[in-house]
Structure 1
Amino acid sequence: MSVHRAIVRSGGGVSVVLRPTPSPGPGELTVAPLYAGLCGTDLQMLRGLRDDPAPVIGHEGVGRVAAVGPDVPDAFAPGTLVTVNPTHPRDPGFLLGHNVDGLLQERTLLPASAVAGGMVVPLPESTDVTLGALLEPLAVARYALAELRAFAPRTLLVVGDGVVGHLAVRAARPVLGADVRVVLVHRTETGRVFSRRSPHPADVLLLAGERAPLPGPVAALIVTPRDATVAALEAVLAAAGPDVVVDLVGGLPPGAATPLLPGVDLAAARAANCGGLPSPARVTATARGRLFGHRGVSGGQLRAAAAELARDPARYRDLITHRTGLDGAARVMRRLARTRDRTVDGRRLVKLSVRIAATEGDP
């Protein structure tokens, strides 16, 4: 039996181990990941804040088809460059890196439901695989901005300085127009210092609790960890006034609510839009403004993000602050499981890109 290397969570720890390499069955295929990223939800799993069962996490990245089972379409011939859409809009049994083993391993088996459902997305050979860790989060940011564009905002308020927040700042003007005013709210002063030194900073850099003028209409994008999303929403509603539309990208616990929006199930409002469907997104109108959210993106949005990264890679590349292989990634994951301090090897970590094997595109 062949084996492959994988970063595995077990007993509260993280280690690189050898795992049996499965052979794909009917309708299935295996992918050899090239580059994968570490996400905020991955950190929540490492810290025990989520109970997702997959021992191998990682849902952001690119790879090549390694093997296919019977009845797999010819579009997925071995060697095809692909990304994997982690969120199936119709099958809750497929959530890559959460309840299905993810990309932080040398081989990932994808079930027939994912292949038939369009979750495996072929990419052009011109794709810069070294930016693969940014592809899915950029698709999320661009999807959010495209939905907010319908409200013609004068101000974009981004709450959360993780990678999706930074990507939204970088993509704001290409999507919303040159005149939009962009405000980014950070969790820590260290995060604000990173933004200040960035080649593409927001117009206004705030810490949580600080205020700045917010000319309306205001579009707010909340990209916080799930344990901070409700507090962030309440702060936005208090600061922005009733002429606001809020997109909840950050996770929420089931039944999450706020007295500022009586009777509104926040988690249900977010779950109403999944995998890029429906389009346009369902929006909840309240006395304090309009509210929606979304989980995941469509295959078309992933392809559009890949095209944007190919068109203007310099606008985004510096957000990959750390690069390493599987062993180095396991070390970083063990550290981040113990602390919310995002300083790794003396630098603020925004996005960790994991090189799964010696592959094309290596520096």
Structure 2
Amino acid sequence: MSGSHRAVVRVGGTVVVQERATVGPWREEVLLAPVFAGLCGTDIQMLRGLRSDPSPVIGHEGVARVVAVGSGVPGHLKPGTLVCVNPTHPGDSSFLLGHNVDGLLQERVLIAASAVRDGLVLPLPAANGTEDAALLEPLAVVRYALGLLAEHQPHTVVVFGDGVVGHLAVRAIPTLVGASTRIVHLHHTAPGLEWSKDHPVPRVHSVLNDAAGARLLAELPADERVAVLLATPRDATLKCLDIALGALRGHVAVDLLGGLPPGATSPLLPGANLTAIRAANCAGVPDPALRFVVRTSVGAAVTLHGHRGVGNDHLVAAAAELVERPGRYRELITHLVDVDGAAEAMRHLARSRERVVSGRRLIKLAVRFAPGDDTRGGVG
């Protein structure tokens, strides 16, 4: 197959739209045409140089249609099929979509044989071919984390982080943890808190992650069963963990969803290799997931777990959830742009530490590759 396609490319410290040669597919490979793709918090960290992931074309969230297949590809992946790609291969570290292999922010994406052979390309119903697909992978991450935390049977769930994962989590907790669960949502910035107050969610107590927020956690009953979700960027996870451990007095379980630097530790959890604990579960493997009970510096027991990526079942369940309850999550897609608009937004985010694009707070940016006019404005 010959020809070219447009791609949003990181090059020379900026982001541009380039024409790239369209390659493949060869044996057991699949060529995809993205329909919608999302930009996530990890992508923004890469744009800002906070991560060293090498792929010039990022993007691991979204849906695509099969364009062509190589020999030996399963019959359920015929051309025209709507699919999502599990971006994290549980057994092949050379395949991490949008991180060490080119991602979805381009008009054609070649998916490697190992990912196809091991079932990471998942057919979806046609109903998933909407802008909501930009939320599919992060919602799958949330389902993974909340499924683990639900087994703690918490009275309260504390969510650190006001990016898209934090906002998805507070909306999903009543279904995945319990309708009567108390929800505390801790925000990094005043503009983030203001956005949440303008988009309220029932039963969610939204506060700043400051001294007053820590006091709120400390005021929870001593016998409270508390689950903590760290939906935080890599440079904030340890600080937020220490805030939670320093304030909470009850039975605590923590999901280390946020990124961590290599060999991360906390003085409040002596001897615990937090990076290893987070990485112990990868792409849904093992099943059941591993959990670790560790002692704090004052002898209290804390249950820790985390995960890299999601399993296929989490993606399938998230896809079904988006079809069943689209109104619950759609307001989180604050920006819908085309390929050129994506490059402009990414350049802006790379230059600024603020999550503001076109004068509006960015929660989720969705990129549309299918024809049509923008309905929420581009970047200006």
Question: Would you call these one fold, judging by a TM-score over 0.5?
Answer: yes
Counterpart residue type for residue 273 of structure 1: N
Which residue does the alignment assign to 1:346? 359
Offset, 1:339: 1.6
CA distance in 2, matches of 1:301, 1:184: 23
Which residue, out of 248, 259, 274, partners 1:266? 274
Find the residue that maps to 2:126 and give its secondary structure. coil
CA distance in 1, matches of 2:152, 2:39: 32
Offset, 1:359: 6.7
Moved more, 138-147 or 203-212: 203-212
CA distance in 2, matches of 1:361, 1:73: 35
Moved more, 135-144 or 198-207: 198-207
Q: Is 1:220 the counterpart of 2:247 in the alignment? A: no
Offset, 1:201: 5.3
Once the two structures are superposed, the pairs formed by residues 1-363 of structure 1 within 5 Å of their partners are 1-200=2-201, 203-209=204-210, 210=213, 211-212=215-216, 213-215=219-221, 216-241=224-249, 243-288=251-296, 289-358=302-371
CA distance in 2, matches of 1:189, 1:44: 20
CA distance in 1, matches of 2:38, 2:289: 27
CA distance in 1, matches of 2:254, 2:353: 26
Find the residue that maps to 1:121 and give its secondary structure. strand
Moved more, 195-204 or 70-79: 195-204
Offset, 1:129: 2.2
Q: Is the 8 A contact 2:279 2:307 kept in 1?
A: yes
CA distance in 2, matches of 1:135, 1:67: 23
Counterpart residue type for residue 90 of structure 2: P
Find the residue that maps to 1:316 and give its secondary structure. helix
Deviations 1:195-217 (A, max 9, x none): 11114255211111223133420
TM-score where L is the length of structure 2: 0.93
Q: Is the 8 A contact 2:35 2:129 kept in 1?
A: no
Find the residue that maps to 1:190 and give its secondary structure. helix
The unaligned stretches of length 5 or more in structure 1 are: none
Q: Is the 8 A contact 1:58 1:104 kept in 2?
A: yes
Q: Is the 8 A contact 1:248 1:270 kept in 2?
A: yes
CA distance in 2, matches of 1:242, 1:282: 22
CA distance in 2, matches of 1:233, 1:54: 30
Offset, 1:361: 11
CA distance in 2, matches of 1:153, 1:280: 19
CA distance in 2, matches of 1:229, 1:28: 37
- Using a 3 Å threshold, how does the CA distance of structure 1 residues 30 and 140 change in structure 2: closer, same or farther? same
Find the residue that maps to 1:221 and give its secondary structure. strand
Moved more, 197-206 or 111-120: 197-206
- Using a 3 Å threshold, how does the CA distance of structure 1 residues 285 and 320 change in structure 2: closer, same or farther? same
Offset, 1:164: 0.5
Find the residue that maps to 1:17 and give its secondary structure. strand
Deviations 1:160-214 (A, max 9, x none): 0100000000000011111100000001111011111114255211111223133
CA distance in 2, matches of 1:362, 1:195: 22
Q: Is the 8 A contact 1:142 1:305 kept in 2?
A: yes
Q: Is the 8 A contact 1:128 1:309 kept in 2?
A: no
Deviations 1:255-275 (A, max 9, x none): 111111111111100000010
Counterpart residue type for residue 261 of structure 1: L
Find the residue that maps to 2:170 and give its secondary structure. helix
Find the residue that maps to 2:62 and give its secondary structure. strand
Find the residue that maps to 2:128 and give its secondary structure. coil
RMSD (Å) for aligned C-alpha atoms: 1.6
Offset, 1:280: 2.5
CA distance in 1, matches of 2:372, 2:118: 28
- Using a 3 Å threshold, how does the CA distance of structure 1 residues 181 and 242 change in structure 2: closer, same or farther? closer
Find the residue that maps to 1:171 and give its secondary structure. helix
The unaligned stretches of length 5 or more in structure 2 are: 297-301
Q: Is the 8 A contact 2:63 2:129 kept in 1?
A: no
Q: Is the 8 A contact 1:169 1:202 kept in 2?
A: no
Q: How many residue pairs are counted as aligned between the two chains? A: 363
Find the residue that maps to 2:42 and give its secondary structure. helix
Offset, 1:278: 1.6
CA distance in 1, matches of 2:359, 2:185: 23
